[in-house]
Structure 1
Amino acid sequence: MSEDPSLHQSHPDIIKRLKRADGHLKSVIEMIEAGRPCLDIAQQLHAVEKAIGQAKKTLIQDHLDHCLEDVVGPLPSDRRRTIDEFKEITKYL
């Protein structure tokens, strides 16, 4: 992996997800142009939305796991708990 600190181990997987979502979105556009049923289009849009949402969630979690840890550094366990709880609650975003 590059020495660029903004690159993370999860980024290649996120790129794959987003490229897949991009392909699905292009197919949604084609479906609309072809006059496909709204239910089919809505299902595909839902899949695109979920893929993008999961990519975002993965990116945020990875950022918290690595970048926040670099800034915070070692902490006593009583202060560490607050950071760990913060990271845990962000999984519900």
Structure 2
Amino acid sequence: MSNDQKHSHHKDVATRLKRADGHLKSVIGMIETGRPCVDIAQQLHAVEKAINQAKKTLIQDHLDHCLEEVVGAMSADRRGPVDEFKTITKYL
């Protein structure tokens, strides 16, 4: 595989990660200024969700494009396990 892969959702993933980066910087500021732990935990939760969603989007995009290139020519009866794998990864 090449290192210069760019898929349709890469821009979305980068945007999500930039947003998470901004939130994380805010959380650091909250810690440094002594904000309540409940507020900090809430914001950390938001950062975590943003990163997880970016990861999920990246993985799904990769499966939809790269895996499809490999199995696209398979007959329908042989694709079953691959299609099931793609579906189950949505629950990661």
How many aligned residue pairs are there?
A: 90
- Which structure 1 residue ranges, 4+ long, deviate > 6 Å from structure 2? none
Q: In structure 2, how many angstroms separate the alpha carbons of the residues matched to 1:5 and 1:39?
A: 41
> In 2, distance between residues paired with 1:68 and 1:22?
30
The CA deviation at 1:78 is 1.3
Offset of 1:49 from its aligned partner? 0.1
For residues 28 and 53 of structure 1, the distance between their equivalents in structure 2, rounded to whole angstroms, comes to: 17
In the TM superposition, 1:1-93 aligns within 5 A as 6-93=5-92
How well do the aligned residues superpose, as a CA RMSD in angstroms? 1.2
SS at match of 2:40: helix
User: Which structure 2 residue ranges, 5 or more long, are not aligned?
Assistant: none
Normalised TM-score (structure 2): 0.93
Q: Which amino acid aligns with 2:61?
A: D
* Structure 1: distance between partners of 2:16 and 2:82: 28
The separation in 1 between residues aligned to 2:80 and 2:73, in whole angstroms, is 12
Q: Is the Cα–Cα contact under 8 Å of residues 24 and 44 in structure 2 kept in the other structure?
A: yes
Q: Unaligned stretches of 5+ in structure 1?
A: none
Q: CA deviation at 1:5?
A: 5.4
Shift of 1:52: 0.2
Could you tell me which amino acid in structure 2 is paired with residue 90 of structure 1? T
How much does 1:74 deviate? Answer: 1.2
- Measure, in 1, the Cα distance between the counterparts of 2:76 and 2:10: 30
